A and B are shown apart, each in its own frame.
Chain A
């Protein structure tokens, strides 16, 4: 009596290392596959022509000059917040309080504009706004860091809770400063004098923000990969015990890094309030404090790669909202497509680190 042997059919093994072009080929294939699946879903659910839908998506992102600029602006802000959370995440400090840090930076900016506008020279006002927004973000990031360093509190919950505190503070001050009374919103601050508005380069409203973030990206890249502080961040993130063993003051590194992280978030708040919106609402960060976490993870914390990942996310969301307006579909439909595409992109990382082999069982009978 012989038993037919049944081994496992699929076999998962870890890849040692993959050349970069191979890895990018897998990612590219994932995006193509995602587009095909999206096409099927689109046709099945709405009966629309998928190619047309994709064209609309593209048009939504790049269709007009104005749309392209908006894309650039959204990209700059998302990238800025992503750069901000990256040092914290590299240190394995789960800063999901980017949202609150941006809000509080924006609130500080708005406060300066409202309280000091037209009372002091504009250059001094802008200087104070820059300092105030960075300091506010740094404080918002620093409080959970100090508690973590001193009492080992859980930073995930702490930073998350700080978001709600920031939102409530903004809601409170919106009522304090509301114009006109009873409107429930602030409206455009200093519309007539433009006091505290960040200068505009030529006729390009968003160019300054984009340039600032571009410089920041390069600075952050070198800070993380070349500086001693960046090295300390990596060591603390990999193993606190190793850090202590070589004499790194872990608590100090945590607080220092979170001051930087929070400070850059505060700067993003400045760019939003002082640079483009010239007003403040509780939703000004628009969930980007959380999307930034995804941008940073997708790029494996490499600031240069984050340019592409944040572009991808902004492109998808701009395209999705265009689809819902043009085709009269619910906005959720765009989100479904975004979800499918992200699923494939994140899923492709599995195939980059692991190999699947299908075992052939050629058993000799006898």
Chain B
């Protein structure tokens, strides 16, 4: 690597949040003409480190050199001055403006603003790297991947030649991911320095030239991607050997547990979210649900859980003795009163599944606090449950009286899943159960889900990582624009096949 120029050198960078050491004397070099994958578990300090480079945080100690000169980056504007641009996980675009308007937003260029001039420049950038953006398209008309493209063009327009992408593929389909990777390779070949933060090993192997690994805020090491493999990288991240295979035991005595027929759901604005959806959830089986984000997954689970009114169709709960109960038109409380034990791990953990400012004990009793006739709450049993969950699932927390908001993402999810399976459910609905979780925590969750399956629970797993869906699920229901695109067997299904079904009904090209 001696023949390449180090665009960025970070030396002894230290950052503390309160008593937490987020980065501990980190050394990192970023080179031009190279794609660097920054790896690490949740809370290992990847995003913090990159935020210091892009001017969002200021390091407590240490120095940053850009092109060999010491740089002081106090704000994102300073960062742009050094040619550093970061694309965050959550897009920062104004919906009612066009792509070009968003791109020039906040730029202080002398003279009058000429939108056609801007559009021309945007077009030129797109042509250079192979982006596909219409400068005059409004952002609210764009897909997630188009919005991401606008974010990338935005930083390029500002002259960035050091690009940082924080989990860029989390929201993309396999086809969109391929397109993004092609663009990133073009930019690398044009001599730009690119850093991507990701949890997905196969993407690291496919895309990056070099990997750098952080563990507990410390720099563990870096190496060329082609000289390493997923197993070695994972071991370095976790600090000990880990097995990377997801278990898929055979279904245990599958019997129909929930039958959904012709379900149609509209949201509050009257937009059709689900149209004529029919499928069966079996006991002792994991049903995966695949689809581009926002294709009705959320509405589907919420309709089953009694949180989303259905316009038409039926959701039938089938008991072991064959009795059928209609769930449509019931709220969560009346579903529970019917004796249907339905657990739901929602996508929005702190906004829906848990109360962030309450401690573990109080969160444990969210489901059960009504039990008993007493006017007052009983906190003894929830406390015992909290202690049990902490012990069984290795939740890292100072104690059961800590507000769950203070826990890291993986531990928050363990608390939520722990509570939901504690009630011995017969149906377990999970939405993006491992989103934002690192490998270690993800595997804990897969394990828990498999244990539920083995116990005869009917599990629904809404996921975004196709590789995981294909390895974990017995059957996969593919949604496309609120309709069922198809149901495939998990064993033997191929990634391109499912990916195609996600973008086109039935998965056939030009049907």
Show the binding face of A for B, using Cβ within 8 Å: 2-3, 5-8, 11, 13-16, 222, 226-229, 231, 234-235, 238-239, 241-242, 244-249, 355, 359, 363
- Once bound together, how far apart are the Cα atoms of A171 and B63, in whole Å? 70
Give A282 to B366 CA distance when docked, in angstroms: 44
Residues of B within 8 A of A241 (CB): 348, 351-352
- 8 Å CB interface, B307-343 against A: 307, 331-333, 336
Give the contact-size bracket for chain B: 35 or more
Quick one: CB contact mask for B42-70 with A, threshold 8 Å, 1 for yes? Answer: 00000000000000001010010000011
Which residues from B are CB-within-8-Å of A244? Answer: 307, 332
Q: Are A16 and B19 in contact (CB under 8 A)?
A: yes
Q: Is B446 an interface residue (CB 8 A)?
A: no
Question: In the complex the two chains form, what is the Cα distance from A228 to B332 in whole Å?
Answer: 18
Cross-chain contact A7 with B72 (CB below 8 angstroms): yes
Residue of A nearest to B371 (CB): A228
A and B contact pairs by CB, cutoff 8 A, 22 listed: A3-B69, A3-B70, A5-B72, A11-B60, A13-B18, A16-B19, A227-B375, A228-B369, A228-B376, A228-B377, A229-B375, A231-B362, A231-B377, A239-B352, A242-B351, A242-B353, A245-B305, A245-B307, A245-B346, A355-B18, A359-B60, A363-B70
A308 to B478, CA, bound (A): 60
CA distance A222 to B354 in the complex (A): 23
Contacts A14-B17, A16-B18, A231-B362 given; does A245 touch B70 at CB 8 Å:
no
Given A5-B70, A16-B20, A241-B348: A247 and B353 interface contact (C-beta under 8 Å): no
* B 412-457 contacts with A by CB, 8 A: none
Q: Are A228 and B366 in contact (CB under 8 A)?
A: no
| CB nearest to A364 among chain B residues | B63
A246 contacts B72, CB within 8 Å? Answer: no
8 Å CB contacts to A: which residues of B349-408? Answer: 351-358, 362, 365-367, 369-370, 374-377, 406
Nearest residue in A to B368 (C-beta to C-beta)? Answer: A246
B358 lies within 8 A of A238 (CB): yes
On chain B, the residues within 8 Å of A228 by CB distance are: 369-370, 374-377
Chain B 70-81 interface 0/1 with A at a Cβ cutoff of 8 Å (1 = within) = 101010000000
| B219: interface (CB < 8 Å) | no
A14-B18 in contact given A227-B376, A235-B366, A246-B366 (Cβ < 8 Å): yes
Top-5 shortest CB links A-B = A247-B333, A16-B18, A247-B332, A238-B355, A5-B72
Pick the contact of A245 from B344, B356, B362, B376 — CB < 8 Å? B344
Q: A234-B358, A247-B331 are in contact. List 17 more A-B contacts (CB 8 A).
A: A3-B72, A5-B72, A7-B74, A8-B58, A15-B18, A16-B406, A222-B376, A228-B370, A228-B376, A231-B369, A238-B356, A239-B355, A239-B356, A245-B305, A245-B344, A245-B352, A249-B331
Chain B: minimal CB distance from A211 (Å): 24
Q: Which residues of A contact B20 (CB under 8 A)?
A: 16
B70: A residues at CB distance < 8 A: 2-3, 5, 363
The residues of B that contact A355 with a CB separation of less than 8 Å are 18
Known A14-B17, A231-B369, A239-B355: A245·B332 in contact at CB below 8 Å: yes
